[in-house]
């Protein structure tokens, strides 16, 4: 396997906010704690230890909850050892989170988890006196079913059609047998295809709900790497978080803090999320609706459920599991119940984490290190060969479609489509006319400038027409390069945001995940291009 790198900033697929973070621009420093370097983790450890969070009792609750969730899972010795190690005050987590996408959804599901695995390993090498546990946080309390009920395979959308209400983790798996039958017809006949059939069947046809199916699936893919998977939709874990839930209900600190941050951040960057006055949902079977506070009454939207202050405090005390954090509160929940040092996420995720630093300060919880997950473009041997033959560089392939085509047509054309020399010559001629106009009649200057602009515009139009004509002449070459770019950037998007892992598993089998673990470097700070 060969690999190369491209700066995230050069790909054209990352926001100015993320690019400025990677460049450590001073104007962003107030929105995060420590930049992700090996040295900064030592400081983060000390801050975490001094915070008073994750007491012996809290760690015991975390471990017992994880053991309960792993009762029916064939976990590796490494995973079980990692769970046990969380009892120790010298054990910390490296966390990534993701929705319960059908059959993992797009490829970056794998890259997130591999980033957490590899960073944990690197930290252990650097700080051997501590232990570091990679954690996948399942977003079991989400209710955006339309975002997760499909995956793309060989240009087709494999779709799970059903109605959904409430938290998706509790969703029964009816209808997935039809999805299985449809998907497996597309797999063909091979040892790798059989593995994928069994993996899908064991995950979705042999479990009761989407959370259990996803836990099984992630464990199977990563059981050799001691990954720990957590479902935080748990009464004991939420009991630990209850003081922060109560504070949110009574004082609305998240709304005040995040709103203030947004006013500053929005002067330069787009805002990812907006806070609610209460950033909690009420959760029961087939129900996840917002809690609002109106006229001294707490209400659950679209229901008849309501309480006065004392009533909702009693409900929280007796049923903490019924209170579900939204996108603003979920990161705090994570940092309260896990002894966490770092959150690994995509650009969109990190964007909303930047909005939360002041809120974390307000509630006196250490803000984790934020790390942009590894991003990868996988090229098959055949694709790599074609790119080399067509003289297409890594930088070229990331260009937007029109820019890419125009650049390559100019390169392969036997006609010079660059009219820059003519433009320089034209400007030289007009310099003489300008001098003449200044000597004779300065009112003539306007006419000369207008004529210069007109003729330069004419040259630009001629250049565009020549380029268009050459595209027609070179239609076969243009078709080949655009087809190749479409294979690598399906739907003109990053491969990792579109393609499902099973397409590559068909070809590379049980070497796919080990090769990713071998080659992904979480602290590299660059987009990775792999030639498989």
**pLDDT on residue 515:** 96
Q: How would residue 430 be classed by pLDDT, with cut points 50, 70 and 90?
A: confident
What is the structure's pLDDT at 509?
96
Answer whether 8's CB lies under 8 Å from 527's CB. Answer: yes
pLDDT of amino acid 167: 95
User: Which residues on neighbouring strands pair with residue 293, listed in sequence order?
Assistant: 298
What's the pLDDT score for residue 459?
64
pLDDT at site 91 = 98
pLDDT classification of 116: cutoffs 50, 70, 90: very high
Asked if residue 355 lies in contact with residue 273, where contact means CB atoms within 8 angstroms, the answer is yes
**Does 380 or 414 have the greater pLDDT score?**
380
| Structural contact between residues 219 and 75, judged by C-beta atoms closer than 8 angstroms | yes
The arithmetic mean of pLDDT across residues 38-51, rounded, is 97
88 near 63, Cβ under 8 Å?
A: no
- 470, pLDDT greater than 90: no
Which residue did the predictor score with more confidence, 313 or 455?
313
CB 304, CB 380: distance < 8 Å: no
CB 513 within 8 A of CB 412: no
Q: What is the DSSP letter of 415?
A: S
Residue 442: pLDDT band by 50, 70, 90 thresholds? low
pLDDT at 431: 75
Helix (H, G, I), strand (E, B) or coil at 93: strand
pLDDT at res. 408: 75
**pTM for this model (two decimals):** 0.89
pLDDT of amino acid 147: 95
Of the candidates 151, 432, 172, 143, the one whose C-alpha atom is nearest the C-alpha of residue 288 is: 143
- Which range among 54-68, 111-125, 221-235, 452-466 shows the weakest confidence by mean pLDDT? 452-466
- What pLDDT is recorded for position 173? 97
Among residues of the chain, what percentage have pLDDT more than 70? 93
Residue 469 has pLDDT above 60, yes or no: no
pLDDT of residue 446: 74
pLDDT in tens, 340-349: 999 999 999 9
Decide if 298 contacts 249 (C-beta within 8 A).
yes
In sequence order, what are the residues at sequence separation of 6 or more whose Cβ sits closer than 8 angstroms to the Cβ of residue 69? Answer: 215, 229, 230, 231, 234
pLDDT band at 107 (very low <50, low <70, confident <90, very high): very high
**pLDDT in the model for residue 481:** 86
pLDDT at 418: 62
Rounded CA gap, 60 and 513, in Å? 32
Strands 526-531 and 306-307 turn out to be unpaired
- Least confident residue range of 147-161, 283-297, 394-408, 452-466: 452-466
The band of 426, judged by pLDDT with boundaries at 50, 70 and 90, is: low
pLDDT at 462: 64
Residue-range domain boundaries for the chain: 2-167+213-235+329-375+512-531, 238-252+267-325, 392-492
Q: Examine the pLDDT at 473 and tell me if it is beyond 80.
A: no
Q: Which comes out higher in pLDDT, residue 52 or 342?
A: 342
């Amino acid at each position: 396997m060969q690999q190369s790198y491209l700066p995230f900033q050069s790909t054209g697929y990352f926001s100015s906010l993320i690019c400025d973070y990677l460049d450590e621009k001073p104007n962003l420093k107030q929105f995060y704690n420590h930049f992700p370097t090996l040295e900064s983790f030592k400081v983060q450890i000390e801050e975490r230890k001094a915070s008073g969070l994750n007491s012996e009792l809290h760690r015991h609750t975390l471990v017992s909850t994880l053991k309960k969730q792993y009762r029916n899972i064939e976990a590796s010795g490494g995973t079980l050892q990692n769970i046990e190690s969380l009892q120790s005050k010298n054990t910390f987590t490296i966390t990534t989170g993701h929705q319960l996408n059908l059959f993992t959804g797009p490829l970056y599901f794998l890259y997130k988890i591999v980033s957490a695995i590899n960073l944990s390993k690197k930290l252990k090498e650097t700080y051997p006196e501590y232990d570091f546990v990679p954690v996948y946080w399942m977003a079991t309390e989400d209710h955006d079913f339309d975002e997760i009920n499909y995956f793309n395979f060989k240009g087709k959308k494999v779709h799970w059609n059903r109605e959904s209400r409430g938290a998706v983790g509790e969703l029964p798996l009816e209808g997935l047998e039809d999805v299985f039958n449809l998907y497996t017809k597309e797999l063909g006949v091979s040892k790798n295809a059989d593995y994928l059939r069994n993996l899908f069947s064991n995950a979705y046809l042999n479990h009761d709900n989407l959370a259990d199916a996803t836990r099984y699936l992630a464990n199977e893919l990563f059981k050799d790497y001691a990954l720990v998977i957590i479902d935080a939709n748990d009464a004991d874990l939420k009991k630990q978080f209850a003081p922060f839930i109560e504070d949110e209900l009574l004082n609305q600190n998240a709304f005040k803090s995040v709103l203030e941050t947004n006013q500053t951040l929005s002067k330069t960057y787009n805002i990812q999320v907006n806070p609610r006055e209460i950033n909690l949902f009420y959760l029961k079977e087939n129900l996840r609706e917002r809690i609002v506070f109106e006229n001294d009454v707490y209400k659950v939207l679209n229901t008849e459920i309501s309480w006065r202050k004392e009533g909702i405090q009693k409900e929280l005390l007796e049923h903490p599991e019924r209170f579900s954090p939204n996108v603003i509160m979920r990161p705090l929940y994570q940092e309260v119940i896990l002894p966490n040092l770092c959150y690994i996420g995509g650009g969109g995720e990190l964007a909303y984490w930047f909005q939360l630093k002041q809120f974390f300060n307000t509630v006196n919880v250490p803000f984790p290190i934020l790390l942009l997950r590894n991003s990868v473009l996988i090229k098959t041997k055949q694709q790599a060969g074609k790119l080399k033959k067509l003289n297409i560089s890594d930088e070229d392939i990331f260009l937007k479609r029109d820019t890419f085509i125009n650049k390559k047509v100019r390169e392969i054309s036997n006609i010079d489509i660059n009219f820059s020399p003519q433009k320089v010559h034209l400007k030289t001629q007009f310099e003489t006319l300008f001098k003449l106009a200044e000597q004779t009649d300065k009112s003539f200057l306007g006419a000369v400038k207008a004529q210069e602009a007109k003729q330069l515009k004419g040259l630009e139009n001629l250049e565009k027409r020549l380029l268009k004509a050459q595209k027609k002449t070179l239609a076969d070459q243009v078709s080949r390069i655009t087809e190749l770019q479409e294979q690598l950037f399906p739907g003109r998007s990053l491969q990792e945001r579109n393609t499902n892992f099973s397409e590559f598993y068909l070809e590379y089998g049980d070497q796919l995940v080990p090769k990713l673990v071998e080659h992904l470097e979480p602290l590299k700070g660059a987009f990775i291009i792999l030639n498989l």
